[in-house]
Protein backbone atom coordinates (compact mmCIF):
# COMPACT_ATOMS: atom_id res chain seq x y z
CA UNK A 1 0.00 0.00 0.00
CA UNK A 2 2.75 2.49 0.95
CA UNK A 3 4.64 1.62 -2.22
CA UNK A 4 1.54 2.39 -4.36
CA UNK A 5 1.10 5.75 -2.63
CA UNK A 6 4.80 6.56 -3.10
CA UNK A 7 4.62 5.64 -6.80
CA UNK A 8 1.53 7.80 -7.28
CA UNK A 9 3.22 10.78 -5.59
CA UNK A 10 6.32 10.32 -7.74
CA UNK A 11 4.19 10.26 -10.90
CA UNK A 12 2.43 13.48 -9.88
CA UNK A 13 5.79 15.16 -9.21
CA UNK A 14 7.14 14.12 -12.62
CA UNK A 15 4.06 15.31 -14.46
CA UNK A 16 4.16 18.66 -12.68
CA UNK A 17 6.99 19.87 -14.92
CA UNK A 18 4.92 20.38 -18.07
CA UNK A 19 1.64 22.11 -18.55
CA UNK A 20 0.10 25.48 -17.98
CA UNK A 21 0.70 27.37 -14.79
CA UNK A 22 -2.78 28.77 -14.50
CA UNK A 23 -5.85 27.14 -13.08
CA UNK A 24 -8.19 28.30 -15.84
CA UNK A 25 -9.35 24.77 -16.59
CA UNK A 26 -7.96 24.94 -20.13
CA UNK A 27 -5.86 22.05 -21.39
CA UNK A 28 -2.16 22.20 -20.64
CA UNK A 29 0.30 23.49 -23.20
CA UNK A 30 1.83 20.81 -25.41
CA UNK A 31 5.47 19.91 -24.79
CA UNK A 32 8.03 18.65 -27.30
CA UNK A 33 9.72 15.33 -26.67
CA UNK A 34 12.82 15.98 -24.57
CA UNK A 35 15.71 13.52 -24.38
CA UNK A 36 19.37 13.24 -23.44
CA UNK A 37 21.70 11.97 -26.16
CA UNK A 38 23.15 8.76 -24.73
CA UNK A 39 26.52 9.22 -26.48
CA UNK A 40 26.78 12.77 -25.16
CA UNK A 41 25.76 12.24 -21.55
CA UNK A 42 29.32 11.86 -20.17
CA UNK A 43 32.23 14.27 -20.17
CA UNK A 44 35.59 13.32 -18.68
CA UNK A 45 38.55 15.68 -18.81
CA UNK A 46 42.19 14.82 -18.20
CA UNK A 47 45.35 16.81 -17.57
CA UNK A 48 46.64 18.00 -20.98
CA UNK A 49 49.27 15.68 -22.45
CA UNK A 50 48.77 13.00 -19.80
CA UNK A 51 47.79 9.38 -20.32
CA UNK A 52 44.03 9.14 -19.92
CA UNK A 53 43.75 7.25 -16.67
CA UNK A 54 42.23 7.91 -13.28
CA UNK A 55 45.35 9.65 -11.92
CA UNK A 56 45.20 12.22 -14.77
CA UNK A 57 41.44 12.89 -14.53
CA UNK A 58 40.59 16.50 -13.64
CA UNK A 59 36.81 15.92 -13.56
CA UNK A 60 34.08 13.55 -14.64
CA UNK A 61 30.59 14.88 -15.37
CA UNK A 62 27.30 13.24 -16.27
CA UNK A 63 24.19 14.81 -17.70
CA UNK A 64 21.70 12.90 -15.54
CA UNK A 65 18.42 14.63 -16.26
CA UNK A 66 16.54 17.83 -16.91
CA UNK A 67 13.70 19.97 -15.61
CA UNK A 68 11.20 21.24 -18.18
CA UNK A 69 8.14 23.43 -18.14
CA UNK A 70 5.82 24.24 -21.05
CA UNK A 71 3.43 27.19 -20.94
CA UNK A 72 1.30 29.08 -23.44
CA UNK A 73 2.40 32.64 -24.12
CA UNK A 74 1.16 35.56 -26.18
CA UNK A 75 -2.55 34.66 -25.98
CA UNK A 76 -1.88 31.00 -26.80
CA UNK A 77 -0.07 31.84 -30.07
CA UNK A 78 3.15 30.18 -28.91
CA UNK A 79 4.47 27.76 -26.33
CA UNK A 80 7.46 28.68 -24.19
CA UNK A 81 9.55 25.72 -23.11
CA UNK A 82 12.00 26.28 -20.25
CA UNK A 83 14.62 23.53 -19.89
CA UNK A 84 17.42 23.15 -17.32
CA UNK A 85 20.06 20.44 -17.48
CA UNK A 86 20.94 18.52 -14.30
CA UNK A 87 24.57 17.43 -13.92
CA UNK A 88 26.57 15.28 -11.49
CA UNK A 89 30.22 16.32 -11.39
CA UNK A 90 33.15 14.65 -9.63
CA UNK A 91 36.54 16.26 -9.23
CA UNK A 92 39.34 13.85 -10.13
CA UNK A 93 42.78 13.40 -8.55
CA UNK A 94 44.42 15.72 -11.13
CA UNK A 95 41.79 18.35 -10.34
CA UNK A 96 42.84 18.72 -6.69
CA UNK A 97 43.02 22.40 -5.91
CA UNK A 98 40.58 23.35 -8.68
CA UNK A 99 37.62 25.12 -7.15
CA UNK A 100 35.48 24.97 -10.26
CA UNK A 101 34.97 23.76 -13.80
CA UNK A 102 32.86 24.87 -16.75
CA UNK A 103 30.56 22.33 -18.39
CA UNK A 104 30.01 22.88 -22.13
CA UNK A 105 26.67 21.52 -23.35
CA UNK A 106 24.03 22.16 -25.98
CA UNK A 107 20.37 21.83 -26.84
CA UNK A 108 19.32 20.80 -30.35
CA UNK A 109 15.76 20.92 -31.70
CA UNK A 110 14.78 18.66 -34.59
CA UNK A 111 11.84 18.97 -36.96
CA UNK A 112 8.71 16.85 -36.75
CA UNK A 113 10.29 14.16 -38.93
CA UNK A 114 13.34 14.08 -36.63
CA UNK A 115 15.52 14.38 -39.74
CA UNK A 116 16.82 17.93 -39.55
CA UNK A 117 18.21 20.11 -36.77
CA UNK A 118 16.25 23.37 -36.86
CA UNK A 119 17.86 25.03 -33.85
CA UNK A 120 21.02 24.42 -31.83
CA UNK A 121 22.22 26.49 -28.90
CA UNK A 122 25.42 26.10 -26.87
CA UNK A 123 25.79 26.84 -23.16
CA UNK A 124 28.33 26.68 -20.38
CA UNK A 125 27.29 25.85 -16.84
CA UNK A 126 29.77 26.79 -14.09
CA UNK A 127 30.36 24.28 -11.30
CA UNK A 128 31.95 25.18 -7.98
CA UNK A 129 33.33 22.66 -5.50
CA UNK A 130 32.65 24.03 -2.01
CA UNK A 131 35.05 23.21 0.82
CA UNK A 132 36.32 19.65 0.66
CA UNK A 133 33.54 18.44 -1.61
CA UNK A 134 34.68 16.37 -4.57
CA UNK A 135 31.16 15.70 -5.87
CA UNK A 136 28.40 18.11 -6.64
CA UNK A 137 25.03 18.11 -8.40
CA UNK A 138 24.20 21.29 -10.26
CA UNK A 139 21.28 22.48 -12.37
CA UNK A 140 21.83 24.90 -15.24
CA UNK A 141 19.98 28.14 -15.68
CA UNK A 142 16.73 27.61 -17.57
CA UNK A 143 16.99 27.84 -21.34
CA UNK A 144 13.92 29.22 -23.06
CA UNK A 145 12.68 27.94 -26.42
CA UNK A 146 9.57 29.19 -28.21
CA UNK A 147 7.40 27.16 -30.55
CA UNK A 148 4.55 28.67 -32.61
CA UNK A 149 1.23 27.00 -31.84
CA UNK A 150 -0.39 27.71 -35.20
CA UNK A 151 1.35 24.69 -36.74
CA UNK A 152 0.15 22.52 -33.81
CA UNK A 153 3.33 20.52 -34.00
CA UNK A 154 5.04 21.45 -30.75
CA UNK A 155 4.74 17.88 -29.50
CA UNK A 156 6.17 16.56 -32.78
CA UNK A 157 9.54 18.23 -32.23
CA UNK A 158 12.35 16.65 -30.26
CA UNK A 159 14.67 18.60 -27.98
CA UNK A 160 17.95 16.88 -27.17
CA UNK A 161 20.51 17.74 -24.52
CA UNK A 162 24.17 16.72 -24.70
CA UNK A 163 27.63 17.72 -23.60
CA UNK A 164 29.71 19.49 -26.24
CA UNK A 165 32.33 16.82 -26.95
CA UNK A 166 35.45 16.54 -29.05
CA UNK A 167 35.48 13.68 -31.60
CA UNK A 168 37.86 11.79 -29.28
CA UNK A 169 35.56 12.23 -26.26
CA UNK A 170 32.57 11.09 -28.31
CA UNK A 171 34.47 7.99 -29.46
CA UNK A 172 35.46 7.22 -25.85
CA UNK A 173 31.82 7.46 -24.77
CA UNK A 174 30.70 5.17 -27.59
CA UNK A 175 33.44 2.64 -26.81
CA UNK A 176 32.72 2.72 -23.06
CA UNK A 177 28.94 2.54 -23.49
CA UNK A 178 26.22 3.90 -21.24
CA UNK A 179 27.14 4.18 -17.58
pLDDT digits (tens, 9 = 90+) for 43-79: 999 998 888 888 899 999 999 999 999 999 878 888 9
Counting every residue, how long is the chain? 179
Q: What is the pTM of this model?
A: 0.80
Low-confidence ranges of the chain (pLDDT < 50): 1-23
Distance from C-alpha of 15 to C-alpha of 29, rounded to nearest angstrom: 13
CA distance 128 to 59: 12
Amino acid sequence: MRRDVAMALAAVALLGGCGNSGSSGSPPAPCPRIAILADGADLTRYRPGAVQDLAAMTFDARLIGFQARCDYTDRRRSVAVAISGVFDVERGPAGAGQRGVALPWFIAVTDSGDSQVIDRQEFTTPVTFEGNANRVRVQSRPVSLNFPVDERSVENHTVRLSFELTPQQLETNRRRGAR
